[in-house]
Each structure stands twice: as structure tokens, then as C-alpha cells.
Copies of this chain bind each other. A is one copy, B any other.
Amino acid sequence: MRAEIITIGDELLIGQVVDTNSAWMAQRLNEAGIELYQITSVHDDREHILKALDEAFSRADIVLTTGGLGPTKDDITKHVMCEYFGTTLVEDSRVREHIHELYKERPDVLNRLTATQWLVPESAKILTNRVGSAPIMVFQKEIDYQPKTLIAMPGVPHEMKIAMTEQVMPFLKEKIIKKQGEIIHRTWMLYGIAESTLAILIEDWENALPTTMHLAYLPKDGIIRLRLSTYGEASNEEIEMQLAALKPLIADYLIATEDLPLETILGNLLKERQQTIATAESCTGGRLAAVLNAQSGSSAYYMGSVVAYDNTIKEQVLGVAHDTLMEWGAVSEQTVREMAEGLRALMNTDYAIATSGIAGPTGGTPDKPVGTVWIAWAMPEGTIAKCFHFGVAREREQITQRAVTEALVGLIKSLNTKH
């Protein structure tokens, strides 16, 4: 079963909003074994939407749209859907009651524009939007004798996610049961090897893969995800057999045999060991903290952080010696070591990671160009520090992201070797 996504909104096409919806929806479709063929972003424009629907239905059985369902003038999706499916708007009392309930403490929102939200296309099945006023609409129709389904969802990410999870995916899964096998993906995470070097290293293995399997290299932030996929034709056993043959070739670079965020891998390792962590950050500026506590349950191992942007904070809160900063500077092995050790003592944790570097675009020197980052890992068995050069050509954002990755990978590798 093949799907497409159409995201609707002028704001996407002037770059005011990054379309994060599509990737999230793509993951859900993929998990369910529905092939996503294309993602298309179009304007809040009648003809454009109609054309995109025609094109998408010429290729796919299911089209999911997001956006353009608000109550204001620029939101036209509902009207265009009515035209496309030859139906008209009617009042839906269930939706009206739901919206009244939703805004019972905000009477100002229950105005005549919001009232247009309970007008829904007569021929559509309406799914409940538990957290918003825009109804989720399911249209079903034969086009050229093929059954086609369109599901229109709001563009607000948390409304779309709840709709997808609670309503749309259960609806779609029911449709595809017995219709096809699931797509199986296995993703391994590798670190410390270039993509082309890896490709040569595993070339013979890759060439010997059965035609029912497909290999993809997905490099991101210094990590290469190696994804082996099969489309229901090969079994789980066959894919495991191939992976068993791959493992000895790449063992030196393997950091995980699942596609998990680095912080989850590290969190799981710390939880297993009942150990704790804290971070002392200069150039990463709180990003390491934010990444570590992004998941529920992180309070079991993550204690806290000090973002010591200013040198006085490095001295007064983390206890870095004034002389160290004077003699070696903030971006130095000596300083990151003292930051990590100072914080480990202050927060009484098993591990502390410290970062200090020049994220740019200014602040570089010939000795320490932009992209120079020192990272220290203070551990029960002692402190390790390492210098990285992420390159003057990279952006501030990119450099801090790479520093976060290295900080996490460094500790993951250290904990893995202790097994």
C-alpha cells in the first residue's frame, strides 16, 4: 500500500516554518509497513492543492495532508477538499460540542470564526481532534476504479501527532492488515569511519546481498547509520543472517545495533549500572543538558548541569583555578579537566562531562581556530580529555552539535568497553 504526504501552507514555502511533520508521519507509516512514495509541500492555493491531489492519487492509494484547517481566511484546505470530493459543508453537532468543551474556559475563542470549525464536509468521516478545533477528515472514493483515501489533518505538530497516534494510524492499520507484509528495517550505528571507507570495507558483503534486500548509508553528525531493508520478501531470519556476516567487518566502529538517539543509548547504559551524570558546559551552552534530559525518566541518572559561559562562573561555581584560566585559557585541556572534576565533586555524580571550545563565527586565533573544542570526561577511574577540530568552515550550530555528539559517543564507548 502506497501513501503520499501533502503539506499545505504558504509559510512552508517562504521557509518561516520547518516541516517537521512529514518526517514524523513518515516514521509512523514506515513502522506500519506503508510505503511513503513522495512528500509535497504546496501553497494555500486552490488550484495548487487540486493539482497536487490529482498527482498524488495517480501514484498512491492514501494521501495524508496537513495544514490549512484553521479558522482564518488563508486556510482553504477544507473548501478545496469539498470541491475535490464533490461534497458540501454541513454543521456537525458532535464537533460543535467538542469545541465548546475544549474552549469552555476561554469564551473569547468561541467566536464566529471558530464556529466555522464545526462545518464539515458531508461525505467525510470525521475523526476527533482531541486537542484542537480543526476536525480530522477522512474522504474515501474510487478514482479510476481504484479505492482511494484522503485524510486531512491540522498542521499544528502536537495536534497532528495526537491525531495520527490515536485516530489515523489505527484506522490505516486496520486497512492494511492482511493486504501486505511489513517493511523490515535494521539500522546499525557506526562511528569513526568515513562513508566511502566503510563502503569499500563492506563492498563484497554488500554485493552478495540478495536482491530482496536494500542497503542505505545514512551519515549524520559524524555517525553513519547503516540501514538494511527488506520488503516482506525476505524473512527476519535471513536479515539476521546477513547482519551476522556483517558484524565482524565493522565491529571496531559499531556503537549500537538499533537506531536510537545517542542520549537514549547512554541513558540505558547508565540506568543498567545505576550510575549518574552531570555536565559542565561552555561552548555547548546547555545543549548537552537539554539532550540528556529530553526523555522522560532521565531524572534517574541525570542530576544537573552548570553552563559556565562566563569565566567567573567557571571559577566561582565549578572551582576552576584562576591561574589555570590565566595560564592556559578557557579552551584548554587544563580548564576542561578542572571543569569536569569540579562539577563531578559539586554534584556528586559518577560521571561528569565538560566542554569548552570556540563555536564561532568569531573568537578564533591561529593557535585555537574556530571549531577547536576540548572535552573532558571525569569518571570514577580518572579523567580523560580530548581536543577536537570541527573545522573553521562549519557553523556555530554545527560545531556545538558535533561537540554534543562527541561528548556522548566518548562516554558511550568508554562504558561499552567496561562490559
Contact, CB under 8 Å: B12 / A161: no
Contact, CB under 8 Å: B73 / A215: yes
Q: How far is the CA of A393 from the CA of B361 in the complex (A)?
A: 40
Chain B residues in 8 Å Cβ range of A13: 26, 36-39
Contact, CB under 8 Å: A313 / B259: no
Contact, CB under 8 Å: B16 / A197: no
Tell me the minimal C-beta distance from A363 to chain B in angstroms: 8
A360 at the interface (CB under 8 A from B): yes
Which size bracket describes the interface of A in this complex? 35 or more
Chain B residues in 8 Å Cβ range of A157: 398
A246 at the interface (CB under 8 A from B): no
A270 at the interface (CB under 8 A from B): no
Which segment of A89-97, A170-178, A217-225 sits at the interface?
Answer: A217-225
Contact, CB under 8 Å: A216 / B10: yes
**Chain B residue at smallest Cβ distance from A13:** B36
Contact, CB under 8 Å: B303 / A310: yes
Contact with B along A295-317 (1 / 0, CB 8 A): 11111001111111110110011
Q: How far is the CA of A383 from the CA of B74 in the complex (A)?
A: 41
A122 at the interface (CB under 8 A from B): no
Contact, CB under 8 Å: A200 / B38: no
Q: How far is the CA of A289 from the CA of B24 in the complex (A)?
A: 26
A61 at the interface (CB under 8 A from B): no
A19 at the interface (CB under 8 A from B): yes
Which segment of A80-88, A107-115, A374-382 sits at the interface?
Answer: A107-115
Give the interface centre of A15, A30, A109, A310 by most chain B CB atoms within 10 Å.
A15
**Chain B residue at smallest Cβ distance from A45:** B37
Name A298-353 residues within 8 Å CB distance of B: 298-299, 302-310, 312-313, 316-317, 346-348
Contact, CB under 8 Å: B12 / A39: yes
User: Which of B16, B17, B397 is the one whose CB lies under 8 Å from A294?
Assistant: B397
Contact with B along A100-139 (1 / 0, CB 8 A): 0000001011011110000000000000001100000000
A71 at the interface (CB under 8 A from B): yes
Q: How far is the CA of A216 from the CA of B114 in the complex (A)?
A: 17
Contact, CB under 8 Å: A309 / B316: no
Q: How far is the CA of A29 from the CA of B292 in the complex (A)?
A: 36
Q: How far is the CA of A225 from the CA of B377 in the complex (A)?
A: 43
Give the interface centre of A23, A55, A288, A395 by most chain B CB atoms within 10 Å.
A23
A42 at the interface (CB under 8 A from B): yes
User: Which of B22, B217, B290 is the one whose CB lies under 8 Å from A74?
Assistant: B217
Asked if A11 meets B131 with Cβ closer than 8 Å, knowing A38-B41, A199-B113, the reply is no
Contact, CB under 8 Å: B307 / A131: no
Q: How far is the CA of A297 from the CA of B111 in the complex (A)?
A: 45
Contact, CB under 8 Å: A23 / B30: no
Chain B residues in 8 Å Cβ range of A25: 15
Chain B residues in 8 Å Cβ range of A386: none
Q: How far is the CA of A393 from the CA of B165 in the complex (A)?
A: 13
Contact, CB under 8 Å: B10 / A22: no
Q: A73-B215, A304-B310 are in contact. List 17 more A-B contacts (CB 8 A).
A: A11-B218, A13-B39, A18-B19, A40-B41, A44-B216, A108-B194, A109-B194, A111-B196, A113-B199, A130-B393, A158-B395, A286-B287, A293-B309, A303-B310, A304-B307, A304-B308, A305-B305
